[in-house]
Structure 1
Amino acid sequence: MLLAVVVVSDDRPTRQRVAGLGLGFIGVLIVLGAWQGFSGQDPLGTALALIASASYAVGWQYVRRTLSDTGHSHLSMSGGQLLLGTVQLALVAPVFAPTPTSFPALPLLSVLALGALGTGVAFLVQYGLVDEVGPTTAMMVTYFVPVIATTAGVAILREHLTWNTPVGAVIVLIGAALTQRRSGAPRALSGGRTRTVRIHRTGS
């Protein structure tokens, strides 16, 4: 939200959207059971996760400000971004990870599915969301990650369902609904323009 105020002039959060984002964040904390503490967590892993979350926010604000008016399709922009990321990762990965000696079918298929669906299709959809509703509201989708992960854990891994999971999920949904409600003001288009509708009244 702070980045939207500072970086993107046409994506200033309204009070309603701020309330929705804040409510969604509270819902995520309830899903995770934040009051129970996070003892036993790896400090380095936690720090890296926070940096990754901040990178998402910075990245999509950058996309809205610098790439939204280039005239290129969402497919070409997301494909180019992921291709460059793949090249960079291929250069860095051997430094931090050992070279695999085998490629089991199931893990390999899982990686391919994650890359094609969880990254490729997700990036394409996210570009459309950023263009349609702005980066601040589009980032609301990240609030659903712990909700879906917890639900999958209960449904697939038979993990124990506690009261806070459905309650937090409902709060996240309410927060998302608040961010999507339209105000009476005309919607800003790319480049700060607004769409105006003229009604001409003709006499008989």
Structure 2
Amino acid sequence: MSPTTSSRNTLVGLQFLGMGLIWGASFLFMKIALQEVTFGQVAWSRLVLGGLTLGLIVLARRPRVNGGPVLPREPLVWVHFFVIAISGCVVPHLLFAWAEQYVSSSLASIYNAVTPIMTALMATYAFRVERLVRGQVVGVLVGIFGVVIIIGPWQYSALTGDLWGQFACLGAGVCYGFTFGYTRRFLSGRPIAGSTFAFLNIGLAGAIMLVLTPVVAWNPVQLSWPIVASLLTLGALGTGLAYIWNINVLRAWGPTNASMVTYVTPVVGVVLGVLVLAETFSWHEPAGAVLVLVGILLTQKRLRLGLPARRVTSAVADPLP
């Protein structure tokens, strides 16, 4: 391995670690910011600051694929990006920020780990761009059972804020799963540079938030330095620069290895929630989280049950693209 290759691999490894740390810490920063601003203002700040950060990066680099334009020219491509801006940014960011008014940052980070299972369901049954083998189907079922254990329905005799907060986190995971499936179906094969792809996604979401300012961010604010630092970190780093790192890791390591960040973010989120905010757990929350992790391992074929690798033919009628 040449020194250049070794340095490049080290840089990619640092970007992967930074991505996991920042995304894991984002749940803590949301909780801190909610002390002085509304959930709508948290989501608004994340997307507007993230879009500005990525816009400056694209403006400086002007990335092109095969000498093509920096930004896509087909109107249909912009429509697709508008869809994933709503489903992958606006709605889930609002849901997570709203949920953390009622649930701990640690629990929110655990629910974020449900995303790969939701992605498998959406990619297979909604968009038909993947197939699940039997072991993966078992993984999805184990993950769903884990979610039920995390919720702990036996604790509730009425619909409380805590329960609605958990449903909101789960809804955000569904949105992410839909977005990944939609992206795979309609956008993945298009010649768009990675940083441009991230900018169009986050930038359009930021533009939507600007339009929605009278609805989601109209309340007066009194900002302190901890709140400003939390919002800047959420936006410029977590919703901006980390997306570029994600693309670099994806290209260097491939989608399977890049997806291992799914295991890092909830660990970081839980550790920070416990250490910084003194958050506590009931027994069923970590137990359910372990089941979700096992479900993810099965769904991503990192753990196998020794079952025959027969495909579930009812999931997809046509060959994979």
2:279 corresponds to which of 138, 154, 159: 159
Deviations 1:125-166 (A, max 9, x none): 38949x835xxxx6x949x75x76555433332233432233
Question: In the alignment, residue 81 of structure 1 is paired with which amino acid?
Answer: N
On the 8 A contact 1:154/1:160 being kept in 2, the answer is: yes
Determine the structure 1 residue equivalent to 2:123.
4
CA distance in 1, matches of 2:155, 2:126: 36
2:177 corresponds to which of 39, 43, 57: 57
- In percent, how many aligned pairs have the same letter? 31
CA distance in 2, matches of 1:152, 1:31: 19
Determine the structure 2 residue equivalent to 1:202.
none
Deviations 1:53-80 (A, max 9, x none): 4332222211111110112233221121
CA distance in 2, matches of 1:12, 1:104: 49
2:191 corresponds to which of 71, 89, 96: 71
Q: How does 1:107-118 map to 2 (within 5 A)?
A: 107-118=227-238
CA-CA distance at 1:105 after TM superposition: 2.0
Determine the structure 2 residue equivalent to 1:26.
145
Question: In the alignment, residue 3 of structure 1 is paired with which amino acid?
Answer: M
Q: TM-score, normalised by structure 2?
A: 0.45
Determine the structure 2 residue equivalent to 1:180.
300
The alignment status of 1:85 with 2:205, answered yes or no, reads yes
CA-CA distance at 1:85 after TM superposition: 0.8
- Change beyond 3 A, Cα 1:156–1:72: same
Deviations 1:91-140 (A, max 9, x none): 112234325454422211111111234333564538949x835xxxx6x9
Determine the structure 1 residue equivalent to 2:25.
none
CA-CA distance at 1:46 after TM superposition: 7.1
CA-CA distance at 1:50 after TM superposition: 5.7
On the 8 A contact 1:24/1:176 being kept in 2, the answer is: yes
CA distance in 2, matches of 1:52, 1:60: 13
Between 63-72 and 53-62, report the one with greater CA deviation.
Answer: 53-62
CA distance in 2, matches of 1:98, 1:41: 23
On the 8 A contact 2:148/2:288 being kept in 1, the answer is: yes
Which of structures 1 and 2 has the larger relative contact order (alpha carbons within 8 angstroms, sep 6+)?
1
CA-CA distance at 1:82 after TM superposition: 0.5
Question: In the alignment, residue 180 of structure 2 is paired with which amino acid?
Answer: W
Determine the structure 2 residue equivalent to 1:200.
none
CA distance in 1, matches of 2:208, 2:272: 32
Aligned residues: 180
1:132 corresponds to which of 251, 255, 265: 255
Question: In the alignment, residue 133 of structure 2 is paired with which amino acid?
Answer: T
CA distance in 1, matches of 2:241, 2:140: 24
CA distance in 2, matches of 1:43, 1:32: 7
CA distance in 1, matches of 2:271, 2:207: 34
On the 8 A contact 2:149/2:288 being kept in 1, the answer is: yes
Q: TM-score, normalised by structure 1?
A: 0.66
Question: In the alignment, residue 109 of structure 1 is paired with which amino acid?
Answer: A
Question: In the alignment, residue 138 of structure 2 is paired with which amino acid?
Answer: A
Deviations 1:17-65 (A, max 9, x none): 2221221232233234333126422898677656544332222211111
CA-CA distance at 1:83 after TM superposition: 0.8
On the 8 A contact 2:151/2:166 being kept in 1, the answer is: no
CA distance in 2, matches of 1:169, 1:118: 23
Question: In the alignment, residue 255 of structure 2 is paired with which amino acid?
Answer: E
On the 8 A contact 1:31/1:165 being kept in 2, the answer is: yes
**CA-atom RMSD in angstroms:** 3.8
CA distance in 1, matches of 2:283, 2:222: 43
Question: In the alignment, residue 233 of structure 2 is paired with which amino acid?
Answer: A
Between 41-50 and 53-62, report the one with greater CA deviation.
Answer: 41-50
CA distance in 2, matches of 1:46, 1:154: 18
Between 76-85 and 5-14, report the one with greater CA deviation.
Answer: 5-14
| Greater radius of gyration (CA) | 1
